[in-house]
Amino acid sequence: MDILELIEDFLEHLEIEAGRSKKTIENYRLYLERFYEIASEILNKDSVKASDITRELLRRYRLKLNRYGTSNGEEDLKTITQAYHLIALRGFLKYLARREIKSLDPSLVELPHVVRKQVTFLHYDEVEDMLEQIDLSTESGLRDRAIIELLYSGGLRVSELVGLNRDSINLERREFMVRGKGSKDRPIFISQACADRVRDYLDARTDSLPALFLNNSRNLQTADTTGDYRRMTARSVERIVEKYARLAGITKHVSPHTLRHSFATDLLMNGADLRSVQSMLGHADISTTQIYTHVTDAHLRDIHEKYHSETK
């Protein structure tokens, strides 16, 4: 059987049995179809079978991936992107093994070492500087203030934020649930100040649309009757965050994810333990949360001066 058919079976398995998100399935399709394209070229075959996937094919595929941009007149694939391709291939090979279809042992697919980027975050006073730039005399200003407060106070991903409805959030209890990556639910807790800002925004609205945050652009199409035609997009939120960071004179790149980083670092700098922060961020693996441990560096000088014996 041609592996294109098996890839389709695998993607259906991800959707139905594994419950993976549409975005994940789209990415896996891209990575595996690219593997098929490169494997066909390497083997000089119109049809590639599962048994054709060997160590030698894997070696040559990795080499082609590493040189992909150069050979196509595009930018080279980043190491992390190459790793995503290999993760998809390994998942596909595991699926074949479970179906007892002869192919390469998935354990032979080793991932490249990826150096994580330094996490960018804002200190509390920088977040305050951003908030001070917002004109609260307009509905859009009240909305923007509520968005930034919610990103910083709750540690939300931007995709989680734009998916919220009015009835998603309990402003009295100041907690609610979101469904994050991998369709996993987690609790979100927000400060009283954040709850007040969200309430101010909702009180200023005169519509009955379900989305928590609305786009106020006059260029929006109104043919959509689902009530979602004015729901804010992730890109719109990114522009809002970038705008107020720029007005506050913050020179580093600031995105909604920067505010999520800031949420995590603020917790750790104030004594929260790593496991609790992991739960609040919704990380499946604590190694993902450990990228924030750099913030403890600020306390190392104090510890050194307090506990290290000084020579005479």
Residues classed as catalytic: 157, 181, 257, 260, 283, 292
Both tokens of 185, joined, read 């639910």
CA dist 177 and 156 (Å) reads 11
Range 3-11, long-range pairs (CB < 8 A, 24+ positions): 3/36, 3/48, 3/49, 3/50, 3/52, 3/53, 4/33, 4/36, 4/48, 6/50, 6/92, 6/95, 6/96, 6/101, 7/32, 7/33, 7/36, 7/92, 9/95, 10/91, 10/92, 10/95
**Inter-residue contact 154 to 190 (CB < 8 Å):** yes
Amino acid at position 26, single letter: E
CA dist 301 and 201 (Å) reads 43
DSSP secondary structure of 216-235: --TT------SS-TTBPPHH
- Looking up tokens 């060997």 gives 54
- Looking up tokens 């913050």 gives 250
CA dist 192 and 275 (Å) reads 24
**Inter-residue contact 101 to 52 (CB < 8 Å):** no
**252 CB-contact burial (10 Å; exposed 0-12 / middle 13-18 / buried 19+):** exposed
DSSP secondary structure of 71-86: HHTSPPPPHHHHHHHH
CA dist 251 and 215 (Å) reads 27
